[in-house]
A and B are shown apart, each in its own frame.
Chain A
Amino acid sequence: MIAESFKFPEINSILRWKDIFETFNKIALIAVAATVISMLIFILAGAKDASKAPKGVRNLAETSVEFIENGIVMQTMGKDGLGWTPFLLSLFLFIYLCNVPGIIPFLQMPATARMAIPMFLAVVVWVIYMGVGFKHQGIKYLTHTIWPPGVPTALKPLVGVIELISNYFVRPFSLTVRLFANMLAGHILLVTFALLTSSLVTAETKVWMLKPMAILPFFMLVFLTAFEVLVAFLQAYIFTILTAVYIGGSAHPEH
């Protein structure tokens, strides 16, 4: 053996952190920070003079509002859905700000790479789109989701089972897993290449070539960090737009 073999750490040791106090850990800290930061952005933006051209914090807040309105609500729900903008906006900001610590140095942990937050958000979304469905269509919502309009009678049992499972179980499950697994995979990739770099640099070996080779996993680490910036945004966007699609679908089944 030319060097000590590389050993991947136990999975929990890269995901679970020391409790800050008994009932408060790093994930909770990130979640609270995400809330506080988004609230601060909007409080500061609201305090500024609205009549001038927006800049700084206000520009950030207005850009995010317009992104939600034009990029998500208008594309999926149309004008009727504009009332959902605040909810979708807070959903997007919260997920994004929970994702981004995965690449911030010294934090290095996306809060959504743990099951709790994605699951909670998916359950909230599930409750909301079911509620919207019952509110807009009454009890007919059940039959509409199980048998979409225009299904031939012969196919009803088959379609019914598929749609039932897909609407009530697969949707929240896939929302959860999509966000959670994407962030977890990104985190594990970053950990892998960081460990590879550091173990190559600190390897006790007589083969001198091995140490400069650490530049290769380091480049990969840099590239993946840049990629994770994209993923953090994209996952927040996808979660939000899927929420919008589900809510829009329950409100108006014909679309």
Chain B
Amino acid sequence: MQSAVIHLQESETHDESEPHTCGGETGVVCPKDPGPILPEMKELYWGGGSFIVLAVLMRFVLFPKVKKGMDARYNGIRDAHESADAERSAARAEVAEYEAQLAGVKAEAARLVEAARTSLEAERQAKLAAVNAAIGERRAAAMAQVEAAKLAARDQIAAAVGDVAGRAGELATGRRPSAKVVERVVSEVMAR
């Protein structure tokens, strides 16, 4: 009896102290467990070693290469931007120049139009003056003719009147008055 009880207790304690299985795989006996938060030496070596390798390679080989490419591309992009800016400003300058030329041409055209208008006006004035002059000339000629005709008519009238007056005097007196007297009298009468 006694030995059986002891055996039971022994088996219980044995159960508790049985080594743990690793990763749930039964039958595999782990070396002594270091506890859940103690670092394990092989993990430390491998993890630390691989990190050091990565950091050193990254510092001296891998990163500079990628970074150089990135910088080169960024510089390229920046240069392209700058050249595009330069081209844009050049195009702006050309546009400004063209606009200046356009303004010059417009001014020239306006000047020409103005000149044509003034010359046209002058010509018109000249023609008008010429026409006016011709009209005045003709009117003067007509006036002169009329004056001449009037003078001629007056002379004829004076002659006729003198003739009539001389005849009348001859008839009245029997003697013909002198032409000079008659002429004087007639001009006196006609001037009245």
Contacts and interface: CB of A to CB of B under 8 A. Distances in A.
Interface of A: 9-19, 23-28, 31-32, 34-35, 38-39, 42-43, 45-46, 50-51, 58, 61-62, 65, 85-87, 89-91, 93-94, 98, 111, 114-117, 119-121, 124, 180, 184
Given A32-B46, A124-B51, A18 B28 contact: yes
Contact of A65 (B30, B38, B51, B70): B70
A246 to B, nearest CB: 16
A42 B69 CA distance: 12
Contacts of B64: 86
A39 B54 contact: yes
Given A45-B66, A46-B65, A119 B42 contact: no
Q: Which of A18, A121, A180 has the most CB of B within 10 A?
A: A18
27 contacts: A12-B33, A13-B22, A16-B20, A16-B22, A16-B33, A17-B22, A23-B42, A24-B42, A24-B46, A27-B40, A28-B42, A31-B47, A31-B51, A35-B50, A35-B51, A39-B54, A58-B69, A61-B66, A65-B70, A86-B63, A90-B54, A90-B58, A91-B55, A115-B38, A117-B47, A120-B48, A180-B37
Given A27-B47, A114-B39, A120-B51, 17 more contacts: A13-B21, A13-B22, A18-B30, A24-B46, A27-B46, A31-B50, A35-B51, A42-B66, A50-B66, A51-B69, A51-B76, A58-B69, A65-B66, A86-B62, A89-B63, A98-B47, A116-B47
Nearest to A28: B46
Interface in B138-178: none
Given A18-B22, A24-B46, A114-B43, A50 B69 contact: yes
B111 interface: no
Interface string B79-111: 000000000000000000000000000000000
B112 interface: no
Contacts of B47: 27-28, 31, 98, 111, 116-117, 120
Contacts, number: 152
Contacts of A124: 48, 51
B57 A62 contact: no
A107 to B, nearest CB: 12
B44 interface: yes
A127 to B, nearest CB: 12
Interface residues of B, number: 43
Interface of B: 20-25, 28, 30, 33, 35-48, 50-51, 53-55, 57-59, 62-70, 72-73, 76
A115 B68 CA distance: 37
A72 to B, nearest CB: 14
Nearest to B25: A18
Nearest to B63: A86
Contacts of B23: 13, 16-18, 26
A177 to B, nearest CB: 9
Nearest to B22: A18
Nearest to B65: A46
A24 B55 CA distance: 21
Contacts of B35: 12
Contact of B66 (A23, A24, A46, A51): A46
